[in-house]
C-alpha cells in the first residue's frame, strides 16, 4: 500500500494505491490488509480529501441496497462478503465508490476480464465531499493496465476558492514562420 499527499488549490488530497489479497489468500492476510488500510484512513485528517485507487478483489454488486451513501447504484454483478466489508468500511470513513456512481453499459463497468470471467473489482474510492466534483468514472475499453485489469479513469472538476488568484502566465506561441531557415540566415 502506498500513500501520497499532494496539495491542489489549497486542499490536501491523500492518494492511496492498494492491492487487496486475492481469492485463495488466507483470512488472516485479508484481515491484515483491511487493518492496514483502516490505519491509513484513520490517520488522514477530516479536512483533507481521500482518494483510493485499488484492486480490492471485492464484488459490491449492481445495487446500493443498504449502502446508499457509499454505493452509487450502478455496479456490476452480485455482492460478496468482501464487497460487503468494503462497503461497510467506505461508510465508516465517509467514502464513496466512484465507479458505481455513473450509469454505464455493462462492458464499461467491467474492470477485470480473464477468459469468461468478467468482474468489477477495481475501484476509485473517494471522500464523500468529492461527490459534487466527480464528472465521470469509466473503464477505458481495450486499455489494460496489466494483462487482465482494464484502465479505470476518474474525472474530477476541481474548483478554485474565491481567495485564489490566477497567477498562471500565458504561454507565448512560437511563431515558426519567423524563425530563420537554412537558406535564410
- The Cα 46–Cα 96 span in angstroms is 15
pLDDT digits (tens, 9 = 90+) for 110-133: 888 888 888 999 999 999 999 999
pLDDT digits (tens, 9 = 90+) for 40-73: 999 999 999 999 999 999 999 999 999 999 999 9
Percentage of residues in the chain with pLDDT exceeding 70? 88
Q: Domains of the chain by range and CATH? A: 2-159 (3.60.10.10)
Contact 102, 72 (CB under 8 A): yes
pLDDT digits (tens, 9 = 90+) for 9-19: 888 999 999 99
Amino acid at each position: 500500500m502506498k500513500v501520497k499527499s499532494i496539495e491542489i488549490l489549497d486542499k490536501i488530497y491523500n492518494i492511496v494505491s492498494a492491492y487487496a489479497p486475492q481469492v485463495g489468500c488466507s483470512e488472516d492476510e485479508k484481515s491484515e490488509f483491511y487493518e492496514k488500510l483502516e490505519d491509513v484512513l484513520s490517520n488522514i485528517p477530516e479536512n483533507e480529501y481521500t482518494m483510493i485507487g485499488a484492486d480490492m478483489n471485492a464484488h459490491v454488486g449492481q445495487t446500493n441496497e443498504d449502502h446508499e451513501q457509499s454505493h452509487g447504484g450502478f455496479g456490476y454483478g452480485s455482492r460478496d462478503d468482501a464487497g460487503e466489508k468494503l462497503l461497510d468500511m467506505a461508510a465508516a470513513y465517509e467514502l464513496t465508490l466512484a465507479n458505481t456512481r455513473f450509469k454505464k453499459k455493462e462492458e464499461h463497468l467491467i474492470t477485470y476480464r480473464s477468459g469468461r470471467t468478467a468482474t468489477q473489482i477495481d475501484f476509485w474510492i473517494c471522500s464523500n465531499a468529492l461527490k459534487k466534483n466527480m464528472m465521470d468514472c469509466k473503464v477505458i475499453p481495450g486499455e489494460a493496465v496489466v494483462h487482465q485489469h482494464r484502465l479505470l479513469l476518474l474525472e474530477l472538476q476541481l474548483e478554485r476558492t474565491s481567495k485564489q488568484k490566477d497567477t498562471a502566465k500565458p504561454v507565448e506561441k512560437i511563431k515558426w514562420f519567423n524563425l530563420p531557415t537554412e537558406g535564410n540566415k
